[in-house]
Amino acid sequence: MKIILASASPRRKELLKLMGINKFEIIVSNEKENLQSNLGIEEQVEKLAMQKAENVLEQTKGEDRIIIGADTIVVKNGKIYGKPKSREEAKEMIKELSGKKHQVITGLCVIVEKQGKREQYLTHDTSNIWIKNMEEKEIDQWLNQNTYQDKAGAYAIQEEFGKYIEKIEGNYFGIVGLPIHLLYDILKKYE
């Protein structure tokens, strides 16, 4: 069955390959990412993942397929840190996260359409992360690499920023952007 990743994220693409899935398509969702204040944080991230997967489902009508949608957010004390819109916003995010514990939550939606029947799986993965106290020059050094723009919370644990991560509780791959342990459990039903 055709597997479609509803994401432009190079990290999610690499994680699918890490799972041994080498044959898949990438179709980027054109769904706008809008948070809804009436939903809990976990519900919001799951809904964003679902919207991406459903958008790609609509783009690919009439064929048997598995569509994987995911979305990752960073949260500290109920405040959501999305992708920064500017360097200044990124710097402020890192300052607020520095020296403190926060959560990374990745929502996962898998839609399977086979012979006209549709099944949907919706879940999320939550990890706790502690970032070391960062000096201003360390924050600037990270931002000078210009790789923070497409990352929730303005950082990536799998890049050089990883040297500032003091501790994690949870699943590393969920933090990177795709909880492959959850995805594996869903996909093995369709082998």
The answer to whether the CB of 111 falls within 8 A of the CB of 53 is yes
User: 93's torsion region: left (phi>0), alpha (psi -120 to 50) or beta?
Assistant: alpha
Q: Give the pLDDT means over successive 10-residue stretches in the chain (191 positions).
A: 92 95 92 75 93 93 91 93 93 96 97 93 97 96 91 92 96 96 95 78
What's the token pair of residue 168? 């994690």
Catalytic residue list contains 71:
yes
The residue annotated as part of the active site, out of 71, 125, 140, 150, is 71
The answer to whether the CB of 109 falls within 8 A of the CB of 125 is no
Domains and CATH numbers, the chain: 2-190 (3.90.950.10)
- Global pTM reads 0.92
The answer to whether the CB of 141 falls within 8 A of the CB of 80 is no
Closest CA to 69 of 105, 115, 110, 130: 110
